[in-house]
Amino acid sequence: MEITSQRWAVIINPKSGKKKFRLQLKYLFLTLRHQKISFDYKITEFAGHATVLARHFAESGYANFLVVGGDGTVSEVINGLLNAKISTTQHLKLALIPRGTGNDWGRFWGLTRDYKHSVNVFLNGKTCNIDVGKVNYNLEGESRTRFFINSIGFGLDALVCRDTNIMKRYVGSHSVLYLFALIAAVFTFRPRKAHIQSEEKEILDNMFTMNIANGCYSGGGMKQNPHALPNDGLFDVMMVKKPTLGIILQALPLIFNGRILEVRVIESFRTKKITFKCEHNGIFEADGIIFNFSSPAEVSIIENAIQMVVPESYNEK
């Protein structure tokens, strides 16, 4: 198979009918041609399409991938790349021009919805090795695998993502929706018994919510794991046990300023691998995408899975 190492595969998640989006794409294509960057592009047409496109591009020899889209599109592309029938993914390069609502993965790298800034980072940035998460789980007796790039959540975390996605169907994509869904759910969700096990820690207790993070942002800018780094070979884990109403009210503002781990009902640790078991079948969210599963779920990290184009100013820890 020929490796088209200098050619870019551009995967675009459109916002149909928006004049601004069409102008942004025109700017991107003109810039790429002006810089003599060879590329082919595909526009997604349905949920999961980016996974199929990324896999086909990778199996056709492409090593460079530019994603124009949000966290969900990036996650789909990652799943396409890591499911591709190729010998290794460590040579693959990923770049991002954010188009999503939450933009939690791009936020970590300083990639905002300033379109020209993101294009400039693509042109002048450097590459950084990044880790990718993997979850093995069961559904109706079948073993399944999902990869994620930013974070995975159980309990309240997953419920809020599900409710946010439902609301988007009726009122459109707005970052404040996650906050509304969080406030609505936090007072009604009931903790469940859970067994959480890793080499570093074992917890058998009520679980209100749990977030396992590769990147520090989630929910459109919240910092459930404020110290998480995508290139240190470890997950940051935060689990909330059964909180009182007073603790919930205390915790809500802290989730925005990076001080959430100060709340006394939170267990926080770092690990490479964690197993989650719960009483009932349930849901989890991976990069904001909802999945049904039956216990257990095993979450592990793949170190240096791919490369990411990041700002030249990024200081690797």
HEC readout, the chain: CCCEEEEEEEEECCCCCCHHHHHHHHHHHHHHHHCCCCEEEEECCCCCHHHHHHHHHHHCCEEEEEEEECHHHHHHHHHHHHCCCCCCCCCCEEEEEECCCCCHHHHHCCCCCCHHHHHHHHHHCEEEEEEEEEEEEEECCEEEEEEECCEEEEEHHHHHHHHHHHHHHHHCCCCHHHHHHHHHHHCCCCCEEEEEEECCCEEEEEECEEEEECCCCECCCECCCCCCCCCCCCEEEEEECCCCHHHHHHHHHHHHHCCHHHCCCEEEEEECEEEEEECCCEEEEECCEEEEEEEEEEEEEEEEEEEEEECCCCCCC
249: which residues sit within 8 A by CB, 6+ positions away? none
Contact 41, 99 (CB under 8 A): no
Question: Residue 174 has what pLDDT?
Answer: 56
Question: Residue 2 has what pLDDT?
Answer: 44
pLDDT in tens, 216-268: 999 888 899 999 999 999 999 999 988 888 888 888 888 888 899 988 889 99
Assigned token pair, 154: 């159980």
State the pTM of this model: 0.92
**Phi, psi values for residue 231, rounded to 5°:** -140, 30
Report, at the CATH architecture level, how domain 133-302 is classified.
Sandwich (2.60)
Report, at the CATH architecture level, how domain 4-124 is classified.
3-Layer(aba) Sandwich (3.40)
Residue type, 172: G
**CA–CA distances in Å: residue 80 to residues 17, 59, 76, 105:** 27, 10, 6, 17
What radius of gyration, in Å, describes the C-alpha atoms of the chain?
Answer: 19
Domain definitions of the chain by residue range: 4-124, 133-302
pLDDT of the chain, 317 residues: tens digit per residue: 444 568 999 999 986 446 678 888 999 999 999 999 999 999 999 999 999 999 999 999 999 999 999 999 999 999 999 999 999 999 999 999 998 777 899 999 999 878 899 999 999 999 999 999 999 999 988 999 999 999 999 998 998 888 887 777 666 655 677 777 777 777 778 888 999 999 999 999 999 999 999 999 998 888 999 999 999 999 999 999 888 888 888 888 888 888 999 888 899 999 999 999 987 778 999 999 999 999 899 999 999 999 999 999 888 76
State the Cα–Cα distance between residues 76 and 34, nearest whole angstrom. Answer: 29
